[in-house]
Structure 1
Amino acid sequence: MRIGYFLSSEEYSPAELLEQARGAERAGFGGLWISDHYHPWMDAQGQSAFVWSMIGAISQACGLPITTAVTCPTVRIHPAVIAQAAATSAVLTGGRFRLGVGTGEALNEHIFGDAWPELDVRLEMLEEAVEIIRGLWAGGFHSHHGKHYTVENARIYTLPEQPVEILVSGFGPKAVEVAGRIGDGYISVMPDGDMVRRFRESGGGAKVAQGGFKAAFADTAEEGARIAYRKWPNAGVPGELSQVLPSPRHFEQASQLVTPEAVAKAFVCGNDPEEHLETIREYADAGFDEIYVANTGPHHQGLLDMYAREILPKLG
């Protein structure tokens, strides 16, 4: 089981993300997730570095494998461009890059004024996008004339020795079945064993399943809960709202209905290593092979130190 660290590009500056990547490697983490956002969820988070610039910088700052968690290759950026960006990232990392993809959120994808499709259409677009990406990675000139995308005489010249693995995010049954059918792996932020089983039964088999959770490291659980509520009240926004709300302002409005208690339940708050170990076990019991933890707030070094001392040695 690999334990990784999740770089929150919505909350930390580029310099802070690099510092955390280096710190995660020193602490003994086995890999990195990094989020791909145009906007933060909330203005209180305050950042949104361009993920492909960050991956290039991280590739030269540390040697950990990197997965985007996750990129939406359908609306804001054409899949042919994502194919080139991911191929270059794989070359820069010496093959240590995996492309995590999903159907995305209006928050990040609506910026050109395009209509935001319903879920079934977004899944259809994602399948076609993955087909285009893999076609371009096969080498040579490639054309595609599909329902949603056109590619004409495109060739990616800078390619890694092996094609990049594409991991697919999914939270509902339809999305998980698509992940099982087209993905080289599965990504989720819920310790839901039923979804992992559905992925494997839908074609995923023994492919890697990655899961992630959020923490708010602090001297006390109460302080951690206050940090989590100040920075990420959107974690308590229910249902499909996270996919359809178009701006941080709208998330702030929806988050007024979220209680501090609801946010605290979505985080591991404070500095008790046993609570982290218990959460990791929940993901492991659900069938995840790799588990990534994100920190919110100013005490990320405290979380890294705790994992180095109290958690990673116990997990081997």
Structure 2
Amino acid sequence: MSMTALFEKNSDTVRAQQNRELLLLTGFLVVIWAVTTALSPRFLSPANLSDILLQAAPLGFVVIGQMIVIIVRGLDLSVASIMATVAVLSIGLNDNTVVIFAVGILLGALIGGINGYLVAYRGVTPFLATLATMIVLQGIRFAYTGGAPGGTLPETFRWLATGDLFGIPVALILLAIVAFAAHWLLEYTVYGRRLKLYGDNPDAAYMTGAPTRLLVVSAFMISGVLAGLAGLVLVGYVGIVDNWTGRGYELDSIAAAVIGGAALSGGKGSVPGVLLATLVLVSLFNIVVILGLSIELQLVIKGSLILLAAAVYMRRSRR
């Protein structure tokens, strides 16, 4: 059997497993929503559901990018720092919405490209490369702002993050477009198959003629772009520019990606799975607030979910 045929056969097995995990995640989400609604009917109010979806949108962008990096055996710890840096620099330099988003996307691509270059061409481990980038970006932000970021948020910019179009939040429309594009890219293009083949077996990908180094760089660039976009959407949602925009998203995105089906060993990941895991994550955070529980409980939930993600990963590895 040829290498391509083996990969396709393995892909079918992975899809079946991902479908099972998707059903389990859906069932878990239904259960926690039902229990919370029984305790507090306000949970399913249109206003609260709208808040959950709007909070899930920026994290959803980051999780998709993180998943793509994980598929190529990487890890991006710099996503939160990219979010804050892109927001601070883009909004501080201009007050035109189009320019802000253009600059933000370019900055995200540049930073992601640097991460990818360090990993693919200099042999730095993804953990160390993105950790170093995270720290460097923090220094750049604070040097640029003097600790007090500024800038005016245009009305159209705020509308993109909090407004709606025919009753549908614009941020969710943007996320749906990105999610559809990422799903199509991974499942129906040569590029997507090469990403998964590389994650599954780098040597096999190299022998098929795939530009393996460029694949890694492109994965980190996609993560950088989506993190930058997430930073802008999050700033528009909260209404202020902050040096710590997106703080904690690096761990949240890794947890959501792994729970949603991405394997830290590489080669596996689905957009529907990681988005559903994102919704589960945000729902749990919202439940803490709705039920009037201590806000510190969110940290307990985050830690527990990271442990759950590790358990899920180990279970997949044994399989």
TM-score (ref. length: structure 1) = 0.25
Higher strand share: 1
Higher relative contact order structure (alpha carbons within 8 Å, sequence separation ≥ 6):
2
Which structure carries more helix by proportion? 2
